A and B are shown apart, each in its own frame.
Chain A
Amino acid sequence: MNKYLQCYALFFGLLVLVVLLQIIFYDVPLFSVLNIKNILLQTVSISMMALGLSYIIMSGEADLSFAGMFSLLTVVFAIVANAANYFFIALIAVTAIAIGVNLIIALLVTKLKFSSFIVSIAVMFMANGIEKHLHQQTTLINNDAIKSFSTIEFGLPLVVWLMALVYLVSYFVINKTKFGFDLRVVGENKHAAVEEGINGNKMKISAYIIAGLLIALAASVESTRVGAIYEQGQYYMLPVFAACYIGYSMFTPGRVNVAGTLVGALFLGIIDNFMKMINVASHNVYILMGAILIVSVGLASFKNRSKIVQIKLFSVEVDNRK
């Protein structure tokens, strides 16, 4: 019983919170069909990035590069889409860049044993620099056909179906296949992975490539929906991290998991949407989001509170014994 409580307490807590909000502010149409569609559409990019980050965290690394890469990719998408006037060319270009960059990060992290944290910060700021340079050329997508991509609907918007598909596949891959099992073992206990004969580097590289694919999809969706996001990448950093770490403390507490990430992303989407509907100023939303992140992670790590988590700058072990 206690185990089930641990796994599902936060989930039902969040559910109750959302329902309570709806009951207290009963005149806000939070759960009207139109608004649900809206919430889902707004969460697509964040939930996809959060899923990508989940893969990387599952493999035992950290990543911040998406904050810079995301806005860079939206700008690139806008430029290519305007030049080529064709959705898939822009999508392919963005995907190639994202996977290429993530592959480079992965190689640096696995082969040269760089600290993934520092590498990703460096990439984040380099992406910022390039983005500022590119931005002078263009921001908005002119082609209406490409813009309308995010408004295609089959009951729900097409991109929402895409997100659902990505999550279903990820859930299956992580929980039901050998690949997913190996990935989790590598992240959980690298010594066990070595004993089991799992190639840890291969797993980490695949995780980075999947994350690259997901961030490219997220950037394409976001730029068709609202145009290129200039210098706003850092504002996506918090929701994405928060989604992962809200998920961290449910279903399988202490591990990042696919279902939890989805619930986290949707919860943040609902809260964000709700705050906008009751006209809370955006800076107050930031305060709330920051508090949610800290509280959710605090709850998750409350059991291990005596242990201080340190961030090591160098995964390089300097051996001074002669």
Chain B
Amino acid sequence: MNNQGIPKISKQKTPIISLQMLVFLILILAVFALFTFLTPDFCFLKIENLNNILTDAVIPAIFALGMGIIIAGGGIDLSLGHIASMVAIIVTYLMSRGIEFNLALPILVGLVTAAGIGAVSGLLVSRLGISSLIVTLGMMFLIIGIRQIITGGQSIYINNEAFKRIAINEFGISNLVIILMIVGVLCYLTMERSIFGRKIQFVGANIKASRFMGIDVKNITMYTFILGAVLAAFGGILFAARAGAVQINSVDSNLLGALCIAVFSSVLFGRFKTSGIILVAILISMIGMGMSMMGIKTEWINFMKGLILFFSILMAKFMNFNT
């Protein structure tokens, strides 16, 4: 057999921890050390504070997982925050109606609504060839209008104790963190360990090649929007359980955090990586917590997130990791 001309495939063993992850862990440790020394009395190190940081990271992380899936498929969704707000309102509204609902039904209704919205955006993007930026911008305003109709613009307080229990601290660590772990494992299995997830990443990386490969490009693109919307809606429901009251726009601003985390992670790791997204979420929640402990006003945290976005693109430019 003449094997000339065919490049040898070197059988390198993949290291347990990649270079990117190593750099990132060092970054997290550096930020951690920085804030430990900057906050008064080392109060950053207190166990309640660390717990808070983890709990704060949960909801942005779930949003970012949704955004990350959409970005991995080559789209963008500006309406994620609004979808989440709307679902949070639908769920709490159904609960506040007081009919003997068990928890599952309102949550199911909410998630199905989100899936429907995601399917509509996905259909428009994949079947009509409209840029996802435009579609989701339009969708955002549709949602702003529709959710106003549901409650007439009023905020809803949650009386259902069982629902609030989702977000309390039962086993020494907040239930939210456990939920994030479950969601993370599910995400990891679908996106990184299944053919479906590989297809999504392939479509995002090279849509022409994937079309020639026989991948159903249109449906895969649509599924990313559905998955993203459902994850965001789930984040919105967790937010409602944690806050105990929902306004019609209370989750909107999570869009920035989600985008920031998802872009940062996909720049750093070059592809969708569940552990990466969760770790970046923890990093950002750490920075936010540290800044507020240092007495910096909350409005600068938004500014900081913008800076992190800049920084992440800068990294993509100058630290071309060979993924």
Asked if B132 CB lies within 8 Å of chain A CBs, one says yes
Asked if B145 CB lies within 8 Å of chain A CBs, one says yes
Chain B residues, Cβ within 8 Å of A203: none
Asked whether, in the complex, the Cβ of B309 is within 8 Å of the Cβ of A291, the reply is: no
Asked whether, in the complex, the Cβ of A298 is within 8 Å of the Cβ of B128, the reply is: yes
Chain A residues, Cβ within 8 Å of B133: 62, 117, 311
Q: How many residues of B contact A (CB 8 A)?
A: 58
Interface string of B311-323 (1 = CB under 8 A from A): 0011011001011
Asked if A118 CB lies within 8 Å of chain B CBs, one says yes
Q: How many residues of A contact B (CB 8 A)?
A: 54
Asked whether, in the complex, the Cβ of A298 is within 8 Å of the Cβ of B137, the reply is: no
Asked whether, in the complex, the Cβ of A119 is within 8 Å of the Cβ of B310, the reply is: yes
- B304 to chain A: closest residue by CB: A129
- B140 to chain A: closest residue by CB: A290
- B303 to chain A: closest residue by CB: A129
A-to-B contact residues, CB < 8 Å: 62, 112-115, 117-119, 121-126, 128-130, 132-133, 237-238, 241, 245, 281, 283-291, 293-294, 297-298, 301-302, 304-314, 316, 318-320
Chain B residues, Cβ within 8 Å of A129: 299-304, 306
Asked whether, in the complex, the Cβ of B207 is within 8 Å of the Cβ of A308, the reply is: yes
Chain B residues, Cβ within 8 Å of A314: 267, 313, 316
Chain B residues, Cβ within 8 Å of A301: 128-130
- A309 to chain B: closest residue by CB: B131
Asked whether, in the complex, the Cβ of B141 is within 8 Å of the Cβ of A313, the reply is: no
Asked whether, in the complex, the Cβ of B317 is within 8 Å of the Cβ of A316, the reply is: yes
State the CA gap A133–B207 with chains docked (Å).
43
Asked if B146 CB lies within 8 Å of chain A CBs, one says yes
Known contacts A121-B259, A290-B145, A297 near B134 by CB under 8 Å: yes
State the CA gap A113–B320 with chains docked (Å).
14
The listed residue with most B CB atoms (<10 A of its CB), out of A118, A245, A312, A320, is A118
Asked if B217 CB lies within 8 Å of chain A CBs, one says yes
Asked if B283 CB lies within 8 Å of chain A CBs, one says no
Known contacts A133-B297, A305-B129, A320 near B322 by CB under 8 Å: yes
State the CA gap A136–B124 with chains docked (Å).
41
Chain B residues, Cβ within 8 Å of A312: 74
Asked whether, in the complex, the Cβ of A132 is within 8 Å of the Cβ of B145, the reply is: no
Chain B residues, Cβ within 8 Å of A126: 302-303, 306-307
State the CA gap A291–B307 with chains docked (Å).
33
Scan residues 130-162 of chain B and give those whose CB is less than 8 A from a CB of chain A: 130-135, 137-142, 144-146, 148-149, 153
Scan residues 184-212 of chain B and give those whose CB is less than 8 A from a CB of chain A: 204, 207
- A307 to chain B: closest residue by CB: B129
State the CA gap A125–B149 with chains docked (Å).
28
| Among candidates A114, A238, A284, A306, residue contacting B317 with C-beta atoms closer than 8 Å | A114
Asked if B126 CB lies within 8 Å of chain A CBs, one says yes
